[in-house]
Structure 1
Amino acid sequence: MAFIGILTETMTNVLFPTLMEEFHIGTAVVQWLTTGYLLVVSIVAPLSSYLNHRFTLKASFIVAIALCIAGLLTAALAVNFPMLMVARILQGAGTGIALPLMFNIILEQSPRSRLGLLMGVGNMVCAIAPALGPTVGGVGVAAIGWRWMFAILIPFLVIAGVIGAVTIRQPRPTERVHFSWAQLALLMVGFVAFVFALDRFGASITALTSSEPNASGVLALAVVLLIVSVAALVWFAMASKRSRDPLIHMGVLHSVPFRWHLLAYVMLEGVTIGFGYLIPNLAQLGFGSTTTVAGLLILPGALLGAVLAPVGGALLDHFGPMRPILSTMALAIVGIVLMLLMVRLTASVWMICVSYIAYMIGFSMAYPDTMTAGMGAVRTAMQPDGNAMFSTFQQLAGAVGTTVMSICLGVAQSGRNLETDKAAFEAATQRGGRAGMIVLLVVLICAFLANVRAFAIRRAR
């Protein structure tokens, strides 16, 4: 269920040109199918700690599977963009329950000696599904059409639902805990305002480069939204500290290594989701590739990552977290540097594929180990809250990554038209793609330094 939920995050990215033509919408509107989905997941995921204490694991699972199936069915039957957007919201709510539920089961019921390996398997879902999404979407839309791409996933969810209903067990009794609607509202306002602020900042940059008269107004709106976001999140943190039953116990952030590992994990997710948006769109709009080719570019790296994600966990079990994480992150950095060298007018789009393989090998092993290292820095009683933190900011990072990459391409393409001047539009898209890769490289280096900082503190203690 978690795999299919995350798969549809980036599968939809490849469908954007098709959906834009069918529903007569622009890039700025269609990207909300992914950004809005990730936003819903990031809002629902913080409820995982409450759901983990209040309801049985099986009850949460059944609700999640029902939401995911309803979302896929609505998407398959969608006759307009608003209906498709509702479908994505339903899917996001189901995935927001499923992701932390999967990790809670692993953390609570795994043998300690195998925790790294099993967390690697769990994180393999989070790492590989978004990477496979463009491939599935690109090949599928050419073969069977976008509606069937959603419909064909429903039987797999039905099978997963039956297996889960039969096998999921409850290792502890449930508790009666208070649910704070006010805290949820503050979290929603904070996250939604933040993503909209990023979107408006991008629109203001585009307006400024095009000398549009409303540029200052758009920029002012972005600043106001950012202030609202910060105020709401600060208020949420203060309310959580005062509450007896907060949505997320902020005490989990008292662990300094946990904070740095969380930051690194979030940035790693943002980079990979950003690539899931950037590479397919760069291939189609910058190199003139078909949807099938755009999807296949990501397939080799995704498959290698699927194999190596549990290997990273096994290395952590054997050597500890520091050496496996830092060495594999260094490889991911090299992969992005190589990719930057391949984005030029005379290059083949398949050279990006080779560089992406190097990135995915490093990312797929570093990503699960970073979460495992972070969860190892908190007390067992606080692990559901730590898991909620990871799941929440992981999805928010995905929404931010998609929005920032959309801004990079949109600003570069501003003032150019694909139909009237294809060569200039493709050259501009390539410049935007290169700018996006530079942004992702800087973020990945910051993630590397965050993990270095976490390990330095742990060793000092």
Structure 2
Amino acid sequence: MSSKISKKVYAAILATGLMSFSGVLVETAMNVAFPTLMREFGLATNTVQWMTSIYLLVISVVVPLSAVLKSSFKTKQLFICANLLFFLGLLLDALAPNFPLLLLGRATQGLGTGIALPLMFNIILEQVPAEKIGFMMGFGNLITGVAPALGPTFGGLIINHLGWRYVFCFLMPLIVLSFCLGLYGIQQKSPIVKITPDLLSIALIAILFGGVIYGFSKLSSGNLQLTLLPILIGLAALGLLLIRSKKVAQPILHFEILKNKSFSLQLFGFLLIQLCSLGNAFLLPNYVQMVNGGTATLAGLATMPAGIAGALMSVVGGRLYDEKGARLPIMTGVSLIVIELLAFACLSGHMSNWLICLVYIIYMTGMGMTIGVVMTNALASLKPELSAQGNAFLNTIQQFAGAIGTSLTSAIVAFSQSQAGSKGPGPTALGTQHAFIFLAILAVILWLIFYREIGTEGGAK
């Protein structure tokens, strides 16, 4: 294979990346709109949260199917389907007269994102020369990594000046651009082998993620029955899915790859990184608004520089991986993650917006440097024919972490608030500190995992 990356490959990665970017941007932008939606449709907080939950739930069910879809359909067919579904979801939400139709639009967007997200990484793994995979994985993460940084600010500005419906309208041209780039650039490189998906396995995946996401969403309610019962049902579905995967000829998820110790450890590390990232993304904007008395737009502006730094560092991490191996970018990045979380665990009783902005840059620099390299290095530990399955596991874990990360940290804050009998600045700051102590413990575990796996080696290539 030539070491040169063609214009069509760049266009294909950008096309699929723009869809993932749009999915994350609308998710983070609409979080700012929750109070507006609650007033307009007469909703409670736990109801409006389904704007995010339904989206993540649909993605979590679709992403595990990515290896089967990739094998059974042409890449361009999948992309066109994903793009049209996402555009339809945007149109539904822009015109929705009521909340149920708004949820239907979000679910339709989830279908599109769930198909498109693994496509980008599969294209990189198949069509990029081995010596440049790290760089292009970083480039792919750069496209999607900018979205969380821009989302809250973009959402705040649009909602305050034009109204929440325009969040969806402004994304439509991006999806049209993505469609045109995909038609030009996406090529078929792998043979088509039709696989009939096992419907029972799909149902079990839906029950697994539906139960776990619903259970974790109820953590802050303090109702143990509402929390534990759905999670237990989800775990029971996971057990049945494991049994089912051994009985069918073509399982949707090949759990045998988890016997690969290196892949499994890095998959768990990937989960911890995502949990810490989602925890930060909830705690810091919440702190700016509830403790420091800032607006939603100010909260977005305070976290935006860090998000941009993280997106840019994803390319740096990828290039370091190509030139030096996994050890340098991963251990440097994870060390920065630990430093940030320990700092916030100590300082979060009293933090100015400037302090939040500056310290958060440390975290996002580390996360950006690490996240794409972990994905690349984990997949490098598998046989090439298993890379699509490995990609399915990584993207599934990413969505799972997204669904539970906010719930865990918000539950810790809510517990401190309930103990104090107030949601004022003091109890919120205390709860935030407790949440950061929890995340710091996870970060230390993360550091130990990667130090044991690659800390004394050059890293798999």
State the TM-score, normalized to the length of structure 1. 0.90
Residue 104 of structure 1 corresponds to: 122
Change (3 A) 1:433 1:32: farther
Q: Give the aligned partner of residue 88 of structure 2.
A: 70
Corresponding letter in the other structure for 1:112: A
- Quickly say closer, same or farther: Cα 1:435–1:145, change in 2 above 3 A: farther
Residue 441 of structure 2 is matched in structure 1 by 442
Q: Are 2:231 and 1:226 equivalent residues in the alignment? A: yes
Question: Would the aligned equivalents of 1:71 and 1:87 in 2 still touch at CA under 8 Å?
Answer: yes
Q: Distance in 2 between matches of 1:329 and 1:197?
A: 30
2:314 corresponds, among 309, 314, 333, to 309
Distance 2:74 2:116 in 1: 13
Taking a change above 3 Å as real, the CA distance of residues 239 and 126 of structure 1, as seen in their structure-2 partners, is: farther
- Deviation track 1:225-272 (CA, whole Å, cap 9, x = no partner) reads 222111110111121122211112222212100001111112212221
Structure 1 residues 52, 26: closer, same or farther in 2, change over 3 A? same
- Structure 1, 133-142 or 361-370: larger mean CA deviation: 133-142
The one-letter amino acid paired with 2:439 is L
How big is the shift at 1:324? Answer: 1.6
Bigger shift: residues 432-441 or 48-57 = 432-441
Does the aligned pair in 1 maintain the 2:327–2:459 contact within 8 Å? no
2: distance between equivalents of 1:17 and 1:240? 43
For residues 86-120 of structure 1, the C-alpha deviation after alignment (integer angstroms, 9 at most, x for no partner) is: 22111111111111011000001110010110111
Pick one of 263, 267, 284 that aligns with 1:262: 267
Match in the other structure for 2:390: 386
CA distance in 2, matches of 1:246, 1:392: 15
Matched, 1:356 2:374: no
Secondary structure of the 1:244 match is coil
Name which of structure 1's ranges 328-337 and 441-450 shifts more when overlaid on structure 2: 441-450
CA distance in structure 1 between the aligned counterparts of 2:93 and 2:420, rounded to whole angstroms: 32
Mean Cα displacement is larger for which, 378-387 or 218-227?
Answer: 218-227
The Cα of 1:389 is off from its aligned counterpart by 0.3
C-alpha contact (below 8 Å) 1:35/1:403 kept by paired residues: no
Partner of 1:323: 328
Give the structure 2 partner of residue 289 of structure 1: 294
Q: CA offsets, 1:181-228, max 9 Å, x none?
A: 100111111111112222334322xxxxxxxxxxxxx32343322221
The aligned residue for residue 207 of structure 1 is: none
1:18 corresponds to: 36
Q: Which residue of 1 aligns with 2:342?
A: 337
* Matches of 1:451 and 1:244, distance apart in 2: 34
- Per-residue deviation, residues 299-347 of structure 1 (Å, max 9, x unmatched): 10111112211110110111110122011110121122223344335x4
Equivalent residue letter for 2:375:
M
Q: What is the percent sequence identity of the aligned residues?
A: 36
| Structure 2 segments unaligned to the other structure (5+ residues) | 1-18
1:280 correspondence with 2:285: yes
Match in the other structure for 2:413 = 409
More deviation, 72-81/184-193: 72-81
SS in 1 for 2:32: helix
- Residue 9 of structure 2 corresponds to which residue in structure 1? none
Is the CA contact 1:13–1:276 (under 8 Å) kept in the aligned structure 2?
no
RMSD of the alignment, in Å?
2.2
The number of aligned residues is: 442
The residue type paired with residue 175 of structure 2 is: L
What do the CA deviations read for 1:28-79 (whole angstroms, capped 9, x no partner)? 2222222332222111101100110000000100111111111112222223
**Residue deviations 1:351-391, cap 9 Å, x none?**
11111111101110011111111001000000000000001
2:53 counterpart of 1:49: no
The question of 1:58 aligning with 2:76 is answered yes
Q: Which of 373-382 and 35-44 deviates more?
A: 35-44
- Whether 1:7 aligns to 2:28 is no
Contact conserved, 2:211 with 2:233, CA < 8 A, in 1? yes
Q: What secondary structure does 2:406 align onto?
A: helix
Mapped partners of 1:240, 1:260: distance in 2: 22
Q: 1:81 to 1:428 in 2, by over 3 A?
A: farther
TM-score (norm 2): 0.90
Q: Give the distance between the partners of 2:90 and 2:289, measured in 1 at CA.
A: 26
| Partners of 1:53 and 1:175 within 8 A in 2 | yes
Structure 1 consecutive aligned stretches of length 4 or more whose deviation exceeds 6 Å: 456-461
Equivalent of residue 172 in structure 1, options 190, 195, 199:
190
Where do 1:85-124 residues align within 5 Å? Answer: 85-124=103-142
Structure 1 unaligned blocks of 5 or more: 205-217
> In 2, Cα distance between the equivalents of 1:342 and 1:348?
10
